[in-house]
Amino acid sequence: MTAPPTVDRRPAPVVPPPAPVKRRVRRVRGGGLGTVVFLLPMLVVFGLFSWAPIVQSVVMSFQETNLVTAPTFVGLDNFRAVLADPLLWTAVRNTLWFAVLALLLGYPIPLVAAVLMSEVRRFKGLYSTLAYLPVVIPPVVAVLLWKFFYDASPTGVFNTLLGSVGLGPVPWLQDASTAMVSLVIEATWAAAGGTVIIYLAALTGVPPELYEAAEIDGASVWGKVWHVTIPRLRGVLLITFILQIVGTAQVFLEPFLFTGGGPANSTTTILLLIYNYAFANSLGGDYGSATALSLMLAVVLGVLSAVYFRLTRSWSAS
C-alpha cells in the first residue's frame, strides 16, 4: 500500500488535440436554438411556478390583497401586524417545542437502530423492510389511523393497551400537555424508517480497517462505536440534523389533521398559522400577513442554516 512511487520515464505519447473538431462542435453547442428548446420546459415551469411566486411573495408581503379590488401598498404594516399577533408567539413556542421533541425522540432512535441492524447476520432484509414500512404508508392514512388510536376514552386503542399493563388512560390529543408529544410520537414513527435506511447505507461505507486498528489498540465494542462509527458518520449526521430542524420548522400535516391547532392553540405551529391567515378565515384571506410570516420564517431558517454550516465546517469529515 505504501510502495515508493514509480516514475514512468518513457516519453509521453503525443496526441494532437482535435482542435478543429472541437471548435466546430462548440459552435453547435453553445447556446444555439437546440439548447434553448431543451431549456424551455425548465424555464417555463420554474419561471411560472418557482421564480415568479418567490418574487411575488416578497411583493405581496408589503401589500394588502383582497380579492375584489387591486392590491394596495402598505409598507411594513403586515409585518407589524404579524409581530403583534399574540398567536404568533404561541406558534413559535409550539414549533420550537415540536422541533426539540422531534430531535430528542427522532434523532437518536434511527441511529441506534441502524447501528444495531448493521450487525444483524440473518434476515437483515426483514429488519429493513419492517423499519421502512411506516414510511410507505401514506401520511394522511397514518395520521387518521393514529387519530383513532389516540382516542382518549378508556376504550381507545392505546389506552386499552396501557390499561392491560395497569397504566391509566392518557388524554393524548385532548390535553395541552400531551397533545404535542402525541404528534411527535406519530411523526417520528412515520419518518424514522427513512433515516434508518440512510444511516445503514452510510454505515457500510465505514472501512473495516479502522475497526481493526481500534481493536489492535484494545477498544471495546462500545469504544469502537464511539470512536470509529460515529465520527465516520459525521457528515451524514450533520446533514440529517439540519434537515430535521428545517423540516420540523415547517410541520403542518400533523397539527392540521390531528387537532386543528388545539386544544386551545397548544399545537398551532407557524405553518398552521400561515395557513389560517391565508385560507381559513371565513370571508377573507389575509394574504399579506401570510406572505409576511412565511418570509420571516424563510429568513430565520436561512440564517440558521448559514450559521450551522459555518460552525460545522470544521467538524465535518467531508
Partner 1 sequence: MKSIAVLAVATAVLAACSGGGATSADGKTVVNVSLDPGLEQGAIDAFNARVAAFESANPTIDLVPREYKWDATTFTTQLAGGTLPDVFTVPFTDGRGLIERKQIADISGQVAALPYAGKFSKEVAKAGSTDNGKMWAVPIAAHGQALHYNRTLFTQAGLDPDKPPTTWDEIRADAKRIAEKTGQAGFAMMTSGNTGGWIATTLAYAFGGRTEQLDGDHAKSTVDSPEMVKALQAVKAMRWDDNSMGANFLYEWGTINQDFAAGRIGMYVSGGGNYGSLKAQNAMKPEDYGVAALPLTGGANAGVLGGGTLAAVSAKAPEPVKAAAVKWIDFYYLEKLTTKDAAVADAKTTADSGQAVGSPELPVFDKAAFDERMTWIAQYVNVPVKQMTPYTDKMFDQPLVPEPTRSTQQVYALLDPVVQSVLTDRGADIPGLLNGVQTQAQALLDKK
Partner 2 sequence: MSDRGVLSSFDWRRGRVRGTARVVHTVLLVLLFLAGLGPVLWLAKSAITPTQDTLRDPLALWPHGFDFANLATAWTRVQIDKYFLNTVLIAAGAWLVQLLVATTAGFALSVLRPRYRKVLAGVVLATLFVPSVVLLVPLYLTVVDLSMINTFWAVWLPAGANAFNILLVQRFFDNLPREVFEAARVDGAGPFRLFWSVVLPMSRPILGVVSVFAVIAAWKDFLWPMLVLPDPAVQPLSVRLPALQRFIELDVFLAALAISTVIPVALFLAFQRLFLNGGALSGAVKG
Of the candidates 314, 307, 185, the one whose C-alpha atom is nearest the C-alpha of residue 246 is 307
Query: Least CB distance from residue 196 to partner 2, whole Å?
Result: 9
50 binds, among partner 1, partner 2, none (CB under 5 to 8 A by kind): partner 2
Q: Provide the CB-side half-sphere exposure for 274 (13 A, CA).
A: 22
Is 284 a binder of partner 1 (CB under 8 A)?
yes
272/266 Cα distance (integer angstroms) = 12
Residue 250 or 265 having the CB closest to partner 2: 250
173/160 Cα distance (integer angstroms) = 16
The binding track of 214-233 with respect to partner 2, each residue x by CB under 8 A or -, is: -x-----x--xx--xx----
Is 136 a binder of partner 2 (CB under 8 A)?
yes
175 binds, among partner 2, partner 1, none (CB under 5 to 8 A by kind): partner 1
If residue 220 lies in a helix (H) or strand (E), which one and from where to where? none
Is 131 a binder of partner 2 (CB under 8 A)?
yes
Of the candidates 46, 2, 5, 83, the one whose C-alpha atom is nearest the C-alpha of residue 273 is 83
The binding track of 167-186 with respect to partner 2, each residue x by CB under 8 A or -, is: --------------------
Residue 50 or 129 having the CB closest to partner 1: 50
125 binds, among partner 1, partner 2, none (CB under 5 to 8 A by kind): partner 2
Residue 35 or 76 having the CB closest to partner 2: 35
Residues 4-63 close enough to bind partner 2 by CB under 8 A = 21, 25, 28-32, 34-35, 38-42, 45-46, 48-54, 56-57, 60
Alpha helices in the chain (DSSP H): 19-29, 33-46, 52-60, 77-84, 86-106, 108-118, 124-136, 139-149, 157-164, 176-203, 208-216, 221-224, 230-232, 234-249, 253-254, 270-275, 287-312
Distances (CA, A) of 124 to 108, 115, 268, 304: 21, 12, 40, 38
Convert 189-201 to b/e letters by CB count within 10 Å (16 or more is b).
bbbbbbbbbbbbe
275/268 Cα distance (integer angstroms) = 11
Is 231 a binder of partner 1 (CB under 8 A)?
no
Is 176 a binder of partner 1 (CB under 8 A)?
yes
The binding track of 18-47 with respect to partner 1, each residue x by CB under 8 A or -, is: ----------------------x--xx--x
166 binds, among partner 1, partner 2, none (CB under 5 to 8 A by kind): none
Per the CB < 8 A criterion, the answer to whether 118 and 201 are in contact is: no
> Which residues of this protein are in contact with partner 1, per CB under 8 A?
40, 43-44, 47-48, 66-68, 151-154, 156, 169, 171, 173-176, 259-260, 262-265, 279-285
